[in-house]
Amino acid sequence: MAGLIPEETIAKVRNNVNIVNVISQYVSLEKKGKDFVGLCPFHEEKTPSFTVSEGKQFFKCFGCGKGGNVFSFLMYKENLTFPESVQKVADFAHIDIGEYSSQKPKFSNILIKINEEAADFYHRVLISTNAGKPGYNYAKKRGLNPEIISHFRIGYAPKQNNLLLTYLRGQNFKDEDLIKSGLFVQSQNGELFDRFRERLMFPLSNEGDYVVGFSGRRLAKDKTEAKYINSPETEIFTKSKTLFHFAEAKKAARSEKHLILYEGYMDVIAAYKAGIKSGIASMGTSLTDQQVYMLRRITNNIIINYDGDDPGIHAEERATRMFNQVGGFNLGIVVLPEKLDPDEYVKKYGAEKYQDEVKGALTPTDFFLKRLKQKYNLSNDREKLAYLDEAMKEIAQLSNPVEQDLYLNKIAKEQGVAQDSLKVNLTKYRRQQNQARRHQGYPEQEKGKSYNYSDPPIDKAQKQEVNDPIQTRLLYLFIHSKHAQEYLLAHQFLFPDSKYQRLAELWLNFSENQENPTVNSFLDFIPSELQGIIVNAEMTNMPQDFSDREIDEQINALNMRKINIKLQHLMNDLQDAKRKTDTDEILDITRKILQLKRIQG
Query: What are the b/e assignments for 42-75, b being 16+ CB within 10 Å?
Result: bbbbbebbbbbbeebbbbbbbbbbbbbbbbbbbb
Give me the domain span that covers residue 408: 370-433
Q: Could you give the residue ranges of the DSSP H alpha helices within 16-109?
A: 19-23, 70-78, 82-92
What pLDDT score was predicted for residue 452?
40
Please count the structural domains in the chain: 6
Are 171 and 222 within one domain? Answer: yes
As a whole number, mean pLDDT of residues 92-117 equals 75
What pLDDT score was predicted for residue 403?
85
Q: What is the pTM of this model?
A: 0.74
Are 218 and 116 within one domain? Answer: yes
Are 527 and 567 within one domain? Answer: no
d(CA 254, CA 493): 51
Digit-coded pLDDT (tens) for 40-56: 999 888 889 999 999 99
Which has more pLDDT, 245 or 99?
Answer: 245
Digit-coded pLDDT (tens) for 146-171: 999 999 999 999 998 899 999 999 99
Are 346 and 258 within one domain? Answer: yes
| Domain containing residue 208: CATH number | 3.90.980.10
Are 127 and 215 within one domain? Answer: yes
What pLDDT score was predicted for residue 2?
46
What pLDDT score was predicted for residue 457?
52
Strands 67-68 and 155-157: unpaired
Are 375 and 474 within one domain? Answer: no
| Domain containing residue 281: CATH number | 3.40.1360.10
Are 230 and 259 within one domain? Answer: no
**Would you say residue 458 has pLDDT above 60?**
no
**Would you say residue 387 has pLDDT above 60?**
yes
As a whole number, mean pLDDT of residues 512-523 equals 87
**Would you say residue 1 has pLDDT above 50?**
no
Most confident of 228-242, 419-433, 585-599: 228-242
Mapping DSSP onto H, E and C, the string for 411-424 reads HHHHHCCCHHHHHH
Are 183 and 266 within one domain? Answer: no
Across 264-268, 327-331, 381-385, 399-403, least confident range: 399-403
Boundary of a domain, candidates 207, 237, 267: 237
- Torsion sign (Cα): 131, 135, 141, 145: negative
